């Protein structure tokens, strides 16, 4: 379903029930072209949000601390491919009184009752090059909306997650070495994206980042070559 956004926009994802619309998440594109994903919370100090800056820095913050940080393609040139802005669970907007006001936003994505809740359902937010597909959604898509008035396009999807995302089996050698971050998205071939922590890491260590819908594994150069990943 196509949506409409102006160059500087705010669009919200709202849960619809018999008592009205409840704001569970919103996406903002600033006049400069930066993107922000905001989540309402009862504690204002929590301030959960994701930001994608012009220079390519993408980070997620909670209580003023960065919980996820990575370097992506800059937003100052031609956008290529796909970039996930995160997958977001833990929805309970009615419980904190987050009433949705459609007049305050340039677009609304409505999700029916029973799809999003405190322990079930997720919202995926992706930026895509025109004509490209967003990242694989690890579950059943119940609601999907694409906003095409800006480039990159903004794709918002919501639905229940599958029992467990399927990742490829990637292993390291276990030796301490300078490493790169191998990003393994569920349903996609792994790829290298940016440097890992500048300190030494054990090749093969990794972790699942549910909120971004991906697994990060730190690999040394020899293992990257062995796996056919571009160094």
Domain ranges, ordered by start, for the chain: 2-159, 176-226
Q: Please, are residues 173 and 217 in contact by the beta-carbon 8 Å criterion?
A: no
**Low pLDDT (below 70) residues in the chain:** 1-9, 163-171, 176-201, 206-217, 224-231
pLDDT attached to residue 79? 92
Find out whether 42 and 36 touch, Cβ atoms under 8 Å: no
Would you state the pLDDT for residue 97? 77
Query: Residue 113 and residue 195: Cα distance in Å, rounded?
Result: 41
CA 221 – CA 173 distance, rounded (Å): 11
Distance CA 49, CA 68 (A): 11
Q: Is 94 helix (H, G, I), strand (E, B) or coil?
A: helix
Q: What is the pLDDT of residue 164?
A: 53
User: Per DSSP, what are the bridge partners of residue 65?
Assistant: 62
Say how far apart CA 231 and CA 214 lie, in whole Å. Answer: 20
Q: How far apart are the first and last CA of the chain?
A: 39
Query: Cα–Cα distance between 220 and 231 in angstroms, integer?
Result: 10
Task: Give the pLDDT confidence score for residue 229 in this predicted structure.
Answer: 59
What is the pLDDT, as a whole number, of residue 200? 54
- In this predicted model, what pLDDT tens digit does every residue of 81-126 receive, in sequence order? 999 998 888 888 888 778 888 787 878 888 988 898 888 889 999 9
What's residue 56's pLDDT? 92
Retrieve residue 65's tokens.
């601390």
Tokens 């995160």 correspond to 86
């Amino acid at each position: 379903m196509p949506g409409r956004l102006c160059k500087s926009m705010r669009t919200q994802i709202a849960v619809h029930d018999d008592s009205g619309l409840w704001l569970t998440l919103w996406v903002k594109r600033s006049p400069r072209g930066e993107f922000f994903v905001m989540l309402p919370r009862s504690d204002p100090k929590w301030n959960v949000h994701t930001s994608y800056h012009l220079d390519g820095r993408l980070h997620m913050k909670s209580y003023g601390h960065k919980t996820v940080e990575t370097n992506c393609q800059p937003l100052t040139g031609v956008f290529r491919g796909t970039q996930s802005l995160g997958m977001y669970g833990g929805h309970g907007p009615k419980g904190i009184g987050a009433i949705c006001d459609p007049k305050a936003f340039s677009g609304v994505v409505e999700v029916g009752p029973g799809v999003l809740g405190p322990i079930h359902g997720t919202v995926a937010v992706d930026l895509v090059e025109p004509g490209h597909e967003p990242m694989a959604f690890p579950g059943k898509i119940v609601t999907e909306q694409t906003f095409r008035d800006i480039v990159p396009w903004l794709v918002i999807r919501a639905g229940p997650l599958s029992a467990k995302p399927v990742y490829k089996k990637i292993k390291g050698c276990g030796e301490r070495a300078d490493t790169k971050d191998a990003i393994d998205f569920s349903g996609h071939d792994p790829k290298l994206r940016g440097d890992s922590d500048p300190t030494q890491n054990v090749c093969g260590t990794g972790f699942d980042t549910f909120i971004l819908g991906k697994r990060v594994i730190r690999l040394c150069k020899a293992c990257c070559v062995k796996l056919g990943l571009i160094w």
